[in-house]
């Protein structure tokens, strides 16, 4: 008997694919808005705003998935700065009176 469960990798890759397709459609909408010169009227402005909104939402979703999966490098500036702050070095003569 086969199980119909989906592995986590397949689920993540499916979501990434959907996000990329929606991003491509959003950018295509912005480009078509500019090419057809619809920006000058209310229809073009609404199309532009909707495409930008969809692009921002799905780009944010893609970023959060990539960060959660560890695909993006982590920067640990605070971890490097903490030992330097805790060890100020030797005191100079006349300092700290």
pLDDT tens figures, 74-94: 777 665 555 555 666 666 766
What is the 8-class DSSP label of residue 4? -
Note the pTM of the prediction, 2 decimals.
Answer: 0.64
- Kind plus residue range of the DSSP H or E element containing 20: helix 8-35
State pLDDT tens for residues 61-77.
Answer: 999 988 888 888 877 76
For the chain, the distance separating the N- and C-terminal CA atoms, rounded to the nearest angstrom, is 79
Enclosing H/E stretch for 53: helix 42-69
Q: Does 5 score more than 70 pLDDT?
A: no
Under 8 Å between Cβ of 12 and 69: yes
Give the pLDDT confidence score for residue 70 in this predicted structure.
Answer: 83
pLDDT, position 47: 92
Under the banding of pLDDT at 50, 70 and 90, the label for residue 97 is low
């Amino acid at each position: 008997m086969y199980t119909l469960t989906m592995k986590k990798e397949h689920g993540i890759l499916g979501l990434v694919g959907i996000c990329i397709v929606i991003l491509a459609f959003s950018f295509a909408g912005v480009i078509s808005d500019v090419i057809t010169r619809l920006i000058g009227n209310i229809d073009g402005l609404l199309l532009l705003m909707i495409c930008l909104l969809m692009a921002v939402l799905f780009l944010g979703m893609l970023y959060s998935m990539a960060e959660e999966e560890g695909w993006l490098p982590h920067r640990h500036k605070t971890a490097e700065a903490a030992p330097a702050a805790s060890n100020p070095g030797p005191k100079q003569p006349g300092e700290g009176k």
